């Protein structure tokens, strides 16, 4: 090697060259980016990607196609792998947003809608997770009777814990009660509108001077803005998802439109005014009531379905199909439904099933760890995947292990479906969302914790046992065929 010559891809050079060949070469790559664990490709022709050979590369833990992108799971070293790939392949990486825009060219209308919905809620997930943990902790110290022979909670016997319980509501309220602020900000950010104006729009939906819409539903008389010729009721939309989404999209579209038609030398003055003021007015006159009605219908349909005579069937279908929904991205819709259920009924019976699905996928991986206990290389992938799955992050387990072998994925789906039927059949409700997997029990309402623990045991045992049975049957069929 000549002095001063640069060597690219020292760590992953072999794997990178193989991946480049197996995705169809440089000419098949429209765009490439990466996230925390995955390489994201937008390919001209997905059929040219040799999935079997790609998944045989040592550094790659699995592949899947979602939202128009061919995604390759690398793990924590994805940034190093990505840098080596872009250098060796001589392709320019792009931002995730650019890759998503290019990927939408390969999507149908439903996929585009789901993609937009996912992008709205993805930035809010850290807040929702911490909010769920806080509400779960408040649940433990304030609502569960742990002391004095099960007659008193921690807050009833300790001023410290009573103060802690009171203080933590400050954060819980900020996350869930004022959720519309996060939604309008996220929409503004996603669409390229002015983010601080999106935040202000959200605040106008939850301002303390507004009467909570639930107060109106309870018969309270709302104050009004009196314009002489008309009056507008001062109703807030705290914890509401759809009113905030409608207002956020209107504001962003209006601002972007005004930017194109108002001269740049006066746009800083006129655009914010004429984008924000009409949106706030329409949000309180039209969009808020419409969004409230839509949200109520959706939450009532879901809640009625889960508590009806045929609730067990709905639960079985949801529990069985939730993991496949994650593959398609459709699971992002459940965030909005869960949040609406929480605001409408003070809890959600949907989230417990999601937590159980997480556990079931982890248990299937646990069975694979047992079956491959002599395989050190396999355990390096499966053990971290099982741990993250039990903590509510299913992607490494699903794409790295369960879908790779198929039968563990099916075993997890069956176990999840059975556990969901038990959960719904016994009326389990969660106070909040965001805490998945085993810690999900923290979010369950106190009177249902023991019941949910039983459903968790089902989600652990059934997938584990079924995975071992399926594996032995598969091995028996293979041996019979060989003989």
Active-site residue set: 35
> Sheet of 69-73: strands edge to edge?
29-34, 38-43, 69-73, 62-66
CA dihedral (226, 230, 233, 239) positive or negative: negative
**Which residue matches tokens 């410290």?**
160
**Cα-trace Rg, the chain:** 25
**Which residue matches tokens 């968790």?**
456
Q: Give CA–CA dist 78/35, Å, rounded.
A: 8
The contacts found for 476-480 with CB under 8 angstroms, 24 or more apart, are: none
Pairing of strands 69-73, 38-43: antiparallel
């Amino acid at each position: 090697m000549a002095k001063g010559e640069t060597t690219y891809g020292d760590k992953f050079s072999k794997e990178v060259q193989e991946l480049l060949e197996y995705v169809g070469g440089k000419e098949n790559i429209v765009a490439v980016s990466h996230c925390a664990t995955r390489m994201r490709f937008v390919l001209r022709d997905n059929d040219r990607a040799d999935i079997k050979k790609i998944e045989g590369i040592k550094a790659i833990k699995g592949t899947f196609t979602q939202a128009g992108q061919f995604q390759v799971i690398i793990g924590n070293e994805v940034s190093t792998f990505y840098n080596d790939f872009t250098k060796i392949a001589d392709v320019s990486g792009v931002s995730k947003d650019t890759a998503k825009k290019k990927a939408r060219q390969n999507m149908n209308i439903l996929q585009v809608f789901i993609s937009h919905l996912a992008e709205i809620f993805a930035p809010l997930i850290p807040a929702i997770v911490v909010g769920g943990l806080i509400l779960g902790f408040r649940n433990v110290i304030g609502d569960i009777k742990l002391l004095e022979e099960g007659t008193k909670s921690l807050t009833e016997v300790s001023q410290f814990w009573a103060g802690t319980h009171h203080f933590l509501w400050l954060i819980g309220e900020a996350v869930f009660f004022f959720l519309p602020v996060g939604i309008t900000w996220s929409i503004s950010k996603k669409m390229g509108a002015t983010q601080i104006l999106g935040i202000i729009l959200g605040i106008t939906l939850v301002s303390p001077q507004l009467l909570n819409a639930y107060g109106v539903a309870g018969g309270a008389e709302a104050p009004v803005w009196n314009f002489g010729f008309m009056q507008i009721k001062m109703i807030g939309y705290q914890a509401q998802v759809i009113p905030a989404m409608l207002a956020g999209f209107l504001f962003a579209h209006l601002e972007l439109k005004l930017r194109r038609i108002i001269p740049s030398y006066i746009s800083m003055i006129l655009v914010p005014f004429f984008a924000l003021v009409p949106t706030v007015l329409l949000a309180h006159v039209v969009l808020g009531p419409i969004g409230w009605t839509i949200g109520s219908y959706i939450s009532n349909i879901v809640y009625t379905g889960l508590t009806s005579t045929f609730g067990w069937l709905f639960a079985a279908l949801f529990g069985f199909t939730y993991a496949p929904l994650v593959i398609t991205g459709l699971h992002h819709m459940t965030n909005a439904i869960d949040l609406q259920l929480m605001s409408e009924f003070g809890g959600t019976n949907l989230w417990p099933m999601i937590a159980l699905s997480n556990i079931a996928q982890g248990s299937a991986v646990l069975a694979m760890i047992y079956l491959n206990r002599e395989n050190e290389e396999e355990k390096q992938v499966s053990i971290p995947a099982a741990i993250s799955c039990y903590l509510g992050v299913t992607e490494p387990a699903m794409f790295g292990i369960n879908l790779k072998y198929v039968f563990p994925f099916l075993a997890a789906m069956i176990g999840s479906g059975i556990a969901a039927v038990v959960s719904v059949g016994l009326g389990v409700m969660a106070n909040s969302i965001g805490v998945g997997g085993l810690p999900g029990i923290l979010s369950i309402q106190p009177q249902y914790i023991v019941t949910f623990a039983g459903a968790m045991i089902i989600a652990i045992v059934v997938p584990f046992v079924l995975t071992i049975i399926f594996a032995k049957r598969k091995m028996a069929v293979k041996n019979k065929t060989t003989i």
